Amino acid sequence: MSWDLFVQDWGTAKTLDDTPDDFQPQPIGRRSTIIEQIQAVEPSANFTDQSWGTIENDQFSIEFNMGEDEVLGSFALHVRGNELAIPCIGNILKHLGLRAADGSNGEFFDNDTATEKMQAWMEFRDRITGKKGI
């Protein structure tokens, strides 16, 4: 079970609710360039498979679902583990100049509130799975 974030061009919307129904996001860049930028911030990121990258350590894992296209309209982050993933995610998004929507609450990822949001997701995950930390 993962905490999912969806990265794309969100325009100038302050919240997801502010995104117009007819909004057409722009491409966010070439997959190879985005991978290089992620690895510049997080050298441990493994993109042996350019469509599905990973960052893994003892505290958390992040999977990058990049898809098959070279020009990306979006990609997803699938986060597992604990809140120590937050600074890593925040640094990557800042470096890319992109925002991510939080699939668990329909809000934009915000470094200042993400720890609280991820802890709420972790409590939900533990309750659903009946196990802590999966």
Domains (ranges, CATH) in the chain? 24-129 (3.30.310)
Model pLDDT, residue 106: 79
Model pLDDT, residue 133: 61
**Does pLDDT of 134 surpass 60?**
no
pLDDT interval class at 95 (50, 70, 90): very high
**Does pLDDT of 122 surpass 80?**
no
Residue corresponding to tokens 């802590």: 132
**Region 54-64 average pLDDT:** 96
pTM over the 0.75 mark: yes
From residue 119, give the alpha-carbon distance in Å to each of 52, 101, 114: 25, 17, 8
